Amino acid sequence: LENGGVAMDISKSLQISFMLRTRSLSGQIIYLKTPTSFLSVSLEDGLLVYEALINDNMKKQRTNLVVNDGVVRSVDINQNGLHIDGKLNANNLLLPLLVNTFGINDNLTLIIGQRSDQLPSFDGCLENIHIGITPPISFFVDGRAGNLLENTMHFKLMKRRNIIDNFCYADDLCGLVNPCKNDAVCRDLWNKRVCECQPGFTGTFCETRINRCENHICKFGACISGIDEYSCVCLPGYDGQFCDEEMNLCKLSPCLNGGNCTTAKGKYNCDCPPHFVGSRCQVLKSSKCLPSPCENGANCTVVKDTFKCDCPPGFDGILCDIQKDICQSNPCKNGATCLPKDGDFKCICTNGYEGRICEEMKDYCSTSPCVHGECITVTDNFLCNCESGWNGEHCDIDINECIRFPCEHDGNCTNTPGSYHCSCDSYHLGYY
């Protein structure tokens, strides 16, 4: 039943039993009434609720067992209370009075499913509905039951909508096209879908890459998130798993011609003797420009008994042999990490961003992947919010609404793209 129901006239003593299977939080299941009284069984927050009005005495009680877990449940209501799966779940002094109120001589009306002015309809499966001593209620329309009910006292269906006769139908939530992202496995658990994610992904549809760097810090470097682990790319002069170990750059004796080597902040510095210059004390001050002592494409100019280097952008020092810390100004955006590279810099972007300085949010919807729906960009993927009548990862699969028999009064249903059409008989009009 879904957004629909059936109505019948009955005249038997009260005892209600049925089998149900659902994942709905709320909805009307059974409504039994006389001109002055009623008995209702419904779902609220996944719990069965029964309420009654008898001789102006209103009573309502909730059960304590969650029944919207997709498990088949048996429900029995009689003068002793309400039983779920054979166990007493609710007892109330009002119930024995109901037997007398809804007696064998009363003219009662039974509505299964939706009351037009009250709760939404029950969405799920109902089977073996018994009222009193009558046979199970049939949802067959005239002519479809064959001779199954011939010569048997039974309830005649007066009106029905959105009811499927075969117990127990469930939507195929995994579908022909896997709605789960990133090679995840889709598990159909009867009107409930679970995506089993591959390592490194999370989210309802496994659409989000797990950020392994979130709780880890690379002290002097950039964190790179992998599938099951992370790694640190260290800045020059640092080492270790977390880039927290300063390398002994003086160990390799980089300073020439008697220069004194010291280290600080991942760099080494050479304190040169009076007649030598350069980052490693490698050039005599008295050198001329032939050959040029300047490095990294710098122009050399003779000045008296020495020379001068005009450094290109990104370099410093007497010989233009010292690379400036171009990352000091933190040019990378949106939490990206800056790494020096060949006189320039490189930005390691966080998930969902791109561009030279990670200034652009990736637009996974730019190709309009959702055929009949709205595209929503998530961390590093997209999701489609489908229009009514469509499903699938790209909202390109038409839902066959006629499976649920939405047309009333035996109207013929024709499925159309994204919708359906009811062909009514000569005595009825309307969309349904």
The answer to whether residue 376 is domain-embedded is no
The pLDDT assigned to 12 comes to 44
- Nearest in space to 44 (alpha carbons), one of 30, 58, 24, 60: 24
The answer to whether residue 15 is domain-embedded is yes
Contacts of 384 (CB under 8 A, 6+ apart): 369, 370, 373, 374, 375, 376, 392, 393, 394, 395
The pLDDT assigned to 105 comes to 46
Between CA 18 and CA 84 the distance in angstroms is 10
What does 249-270 look like in DSSP terms, one character per residue? GGGG----TTPEEEEETTEEEE
The pLDDT assigned to 256 comes to 93
- Nearest in space to 373 (alpha carbons), one of 360, 400, 392, 351: 392
Strands (E), 102-155: 108-113, 124-131
What does 290-328 look like in DSSP terms, one character per residue? SS----TT-EEEEETTEEEEEPPTTEESTTS-EE--GGG
The answer to whether residue 31 is domain-embedded is yes
The answer to whether residue 278 is domain-embedded is no
The answer to whether residue 124 is domain-embedded is yes
The pLDDT assigned to 261 comes to 94
Residue 284 identity (one-letter amino acid): L
What's the domain range around 69? 5-131
The pLDDT assigned to 134 comes to 66
The answer to whether residue 333 is domain-embedded is no
The C-alpha angle 396, 401, 403, rounded to 5 degrees, equals 120
Q: Which residues of the chain have pLDDT under 70?
A: 1-14, 90-108, 115-120, 133-134, 138-167, 343, 379, 426-432
The answer to whether residue 272 is domain-embedded is no
- Chain position carrying tokens 């080492």: 239
Would residue 152 be called left, alpha or beta, if left means φ above 0 and alpha means ψ between -120 and 50 degrees?
beta
The pLDDT assigned to 427 comes to 63
As for how many domains the chain has, the answer is: 1
The pLDDT assigned to 9 comes to 45
The pLDDT assigned to 255 comes to 93
Residue 111: how many other CB atoms lie within 10 Å: 22
The answer to whether residue 111 is domain-embedded is yes
Between CA 410 and CA 140 the distance in angstroms is 11
The pLDDT assigned to 113 comes to 80
CATH number of the domain encompassing residue 76? 2.60.120.200
The pLDDT assigned to 356 comes to 92
